[in-house]
Amino acid sequence: MLTRVPARRASRPHAPAASAALGLAALVLSFTFVGCPCLSGPVNASPGLRWFLFSNFGASRICPEMLKSGVSLRMQDRAPAIGRFFPMQCTYDVNDAGQTVTVHITGTGYGYIQPAKRVGFSLTTSVEYRPDFQIAGDDIYVWGRLNRIVQGPSFQLGYVENPVIDVMANVPPFGGLANVLGNQIVAGEMTRGFTVLYNEEAGKDFTLGILMPPQRPHHPFEVSDDERYTFANEVVEVQAHQRDYLGPFEITDPDQALYLKISVQGAPVDIMIVDKPTGDAWREVYQTGKPLGLPPGPVQAGGPLQPGMVDTRRYPLRPGLYYVVIDNTAAAGLVAPPVTLLSPLGGSAAQVSYLAQIGE
């Protein structure tokens, strides 16, 4: 059960100092974009302009971006993902006096850690960001960098697959599972920050993470005939009798398609593409420990993937959000974890490398 975070209205006091700063920022912008390079140095050092751009162009985009897809969980950098966190609720507070934005996130997820095996959890945290700023030619880069962790992470273990560890979940060292996963979520995603990019001709843009000039954000609608937008390019580890729910990935136009390039080492797996409502319900069953079963809705596409193969396919899908489910169970799909003398119940893990893109 999620702990609900009450919606907060952005606090935007209109003090005389704040109004003056906004007026100065607007004036500086008008000079900057008519080609006065002499202002680049002073503007780069202007906290008023930095705050104006971040609070007006960036703050409202934070929650929509955070809620779009799941966050990969890793025990260390460059290691295969062992689970995911899915933000479900997001609100933000704007503090004009302190020139910070605080983001409040609540969500659920799952992970696989020995000896607990699969665990389900919920998490609530609040993170404060402070803007930074740079002008690069005709582009203005405004960054929301981590200022402090305001609250949490408040982490609650739910389902624990290993019944012995379930009983001992609050006993050291097993109680540390909550801290391990909670810290991975915060360190791995919430501390990445945000980038707001403003250009007089191209308009304003937003992305998670810190982009340095001349890097630019990419979004699905920016895909043209000769380029694709990359959703994810990573390695995940799916243990026997487990799944991973990649995405959800968004198709925004009837002419677009989802492109998947996948290879697997270890056990064969099933790849199943389902829409977001089906995936959300199926994922809830998985991370709360209910019996594994078939998806509670139609499978849009997919099929089995054998080890050693590199499978590259184009999936034309209607506009919407879709999960790509990697299934290493006998409860769904066409393949099951292999049975061996050392593991009579089937125990081979699958290490899956995948590239998910959208294009025409």
For residue 221, how many other CB atoms are within 10 A of its CB?
Answer: 11
| Sheet with 301-305, side-by-side order of all strands | 242-251, 320-328, 269-275, 301-305
DSSP for 75-110? SSTTSPB-EEEEEEEEEEEEETTTTEEEEEEEEEEE
| pLDDT of amino acid 156 | 83
Q: Is the peptide bond prior to 344 cis by the omega test (within 30 degrees of 0)?
A: no
In this structure, the strands spanning 310-316 and 301-305 are: unpaired
Residues 37-84: pLDDT tens digits? 444 554 455 677 778 877 887 788 888 888 888 888 887 767 888 899
Q: Which of 303, 299, 323, 298 minimizes the C-alpha distance to 313?
A: 303
| pLDDT of amino acid 31 | 32
Sign of CA dihedral 295, 301, 303, 305: negative
CB-count exposure of residue 73 (10 Å: 0-12, 13-18, 19+)? buried
| pLDDT of amino acid 66 | 82
CATH 2.60.120.680 assigned to domain 220-359? The reply is: yes
Residue with tokens 């751009």: 53
Q: Per DSSP, what are the bridge partners of residue 315? A: 258
Contacts of 332 (CB under 8 A, 6+ apart): 270, 272, 292, 293, 294, 295
Both tokens of 250, joined, read 């968004």
Regions in the chain scoring below 70 on pLDDT:
1-46, 77, 165-179, 184-189, 202-203, 217-227, 338-347
| pLDDT of amino acid 158 | 87
| pLDDT of amino acid 281 | 97
Both tokens of 332, joined, read 């769904």
| Sheet with 117-136, side-by-side order of all strands | 71-73, 83-95, 100-113, 117-136, 139-160, 194-199, 203-208
SS3 of 38-57: HHHHHHHCCHHHHHHHHHHH
Separation of alpha carbons 274 and 302, rounded Å? 9
Domain residue ranges of the chain, discontinuous segments joined by +: 16-208, 220-359
